[in-house]
Amino acid sequence: MKAPRTQSLRREFAGAPIGGSRLRYLPLGGLGEVGINMWALEWDKQVLVVDAGLMFPQEDMLGIDLVLPDISYLLDRGRNVLGIFLSHGHEDHIGGLPFVLKKLNVPVYGTRLTLGLVKPKLKEHRILREAELREVRVGDTVQLGPFRVETVAVCHSIPDAVALAIQTPVGRVVYTSDFKLDPAPPDGHPTDMDRFRRLGDEGVQLLLSDSTNSERSGRSGSERDLHAPFERIFGAAPGRIVVANFASNIHRIQHLVRMAVQFERKVAVVGRSLQTNFKTARELGFLKVPEGLTVQLENADKVPPSKLLLLTAGSQGEPMSALARFAAQRHPMVNVLRGDWVVISARPIPGNERMVHQTVNNLYRHGAHVFYSEVGQVHVTGHAQRDELREMIDAVRPRHFIPVHGEYRQLYQHADIAREAGIDKDRILVLEDGETAELDGESMQRGDKIGTGLVFVDGLGVGDVEQVVLRDRRHLAEDGILVVTLVLDRDTGTVRAGPELVSRGVIEPELSAKLMSDARRSVTESIAKFAETHADINLLKEAIHDSVSKTVYKQTRRRPMVIPVITEI
């Protein structure tokens, strides 16, 4: 399928851009993984940034709290970052913003709810006063340097979500952001397909579209499809009902509030992130909660169990989340009780399945009745599936296509949908973070790769934990550590004290007498060779490391981290 040759299309694509410049599309995060969505357009060193998300750590990221995209490319002195446009208020699109603004204090544009959810984050990081937040409404147009950005309404699992139609010197770029085609959404604001079709009529140079559900056939369904399952649960539950979902899924929270009213249950909110979002959405008018419906968490035990609904975050099984602690009976205020009915109203993000299942196991162990993605129709996705993705492509009719948001297989599947829709394969690029695309008035091609990666937040440290540190943590977790200490005479090379060996996580001490004896002997032999050659102390450490590692592996088939500590006197 070729883009229609209307007069406006010919006018938009006519000729090469002035001065031979090319528009650069720069994916900084979200292409190759689920989360950390962030990208930019660059024209003649002027840069428009879209979204600034985060990702929660995967299982092998030991000790890591959050994962952010690397923005070092944007910090180059030769570039002028004009601003950051936020598409909606989910963590994978706004969660990294406080960390970005600490290094790049530029104007931030977003809809009312999106900025409302951003403000508590900036306040927590003590940068709210310095931040320049500019509210936009659906349908508004903002000029930023060579870019004219229009917001287009899309339906997602959070209100006030928008797509972006960005007019550039080489044509229009349309970014769907996260979307679905629900004809009757809870807030009455469906995806504005009429506007997308008009954009297609006017001519679209590049479409960037959400790939999260590109592997799933059919359509995503409506939030209203959950009403009957929720009614059955609320009507039959003998005691407390506990529902876990994403803290920013305001549509789902509103649905549950209505169910609580219908079945005369009080509502208590568990978890700091959910409490913050609940309060913000209520204050801004995006969440309608009758007066007297909610109770403070500390007073929840005064409500009869059959009259209580607990709303909690932690649907992804995060170890420190409210639901995980509730399930393990480690929460300071409310814990799972026999007879609770627990609903996990979310689908596990890829990589989180084991943590979610562990939470479900703990809930069952303590006598709860659990509904989750594999048991009961308790979740409807907020992302378009294959039929809807095809409908979006048919509406926009882009000249070029790049799938975004997802792991590589999801991007690839979305590219297949675009090919089926008639877009020539030479006009489709499947990219990962750092792999750029360049566009002029007629063509798109791969550009130079830019430096990107994952930035790890560990406690108060941001970026001070590198992959080598994670590798060491995994090494310690899997094989333990063995420390060799000794005191050496600087002049003669003789041992004044030691060698002493201390092991942790290698083998039980009572079983390791022979192993420690053999390891100590290997150290002594290495020292003897050192005394003969008077080699550098660093070479001695290396020799001790190698000899001890070889001895331990020979007897145990394990490779602990061996650290020689030598003091010279």
Write the single-letter amino acid at 249: N
8-state DSSP, 395: H
In whole angstroms, give the CA distance from residue 535 to residue 537. Answer: 6
Which residue positions in the chain have pLDDT lower than 70?
1-20, 57-65, 317-320, 350-351, 456-478, 492-493, 507-511, 531-535
Residue 463 pLDDT: 45
Q: Return the residue matching tokens 């629900």.
A: 182
- In the sheet with 266-270, reading across from the earlier edge strand, the strands are 266-270, 308-312, 241-244, 341-344, 369-371
Residue 481's pLDDT is 82
Which pLDDT value is given to residue 556? 76
Q: What is the DSSP letter of 11?
A: H
- What is the SS3 assignment for 85-98? ECCCCCHHHHCCHH
Q: 514: helix, coil or strand? A: helix
What letter represents residue 458's amino acid?
D
pLDDT at 317: 64
Over residues 529-566, the pLDDT tens digits come to: 776 666 677 777 888 888 888 888 887 777 788 888 88
> What would the pLDDT profile of 342-365 be if each residue is shown by its tens digit?
999 888 776 677 888 888 898 999
Residues 135-183 pLDDT 10s: 999 999 999 999 999 999 999 989 999 999 999 999 999 999 999 999 8
Q: SS3 for 215-269, per residue?
A: CCCCCCCCHHHHHHHHHHHHHHCCCCEEEECCCCCHHHHHHHHHHHHHCCCEEEE
Per-residue pLDDT at 483: 87
Whole-structure pTM value: 0.79
204 and 418 in contact (C-beta within 8 Å)?
A: no
The pLDDT of residue 306 is 94
pLDDT at 14: 37
Domains of the chain: 23-218+382-439 (3.60.15.10), 223-371 (3.40.50.10710), 467-568 (3.10.20.580)
pLDDT of residue 16: 44
Neighbours of 160 (CB within 10 A): 25
Query: What are the backbone dihedrals phi and psi of residue 481, each rounded to the nearest 5 degrees, phi first?
Result: -140, 145
Nearest residue to 204 via CA among 410, 433, 6: 6
- Would you give the DSSP letter of residue 509? G
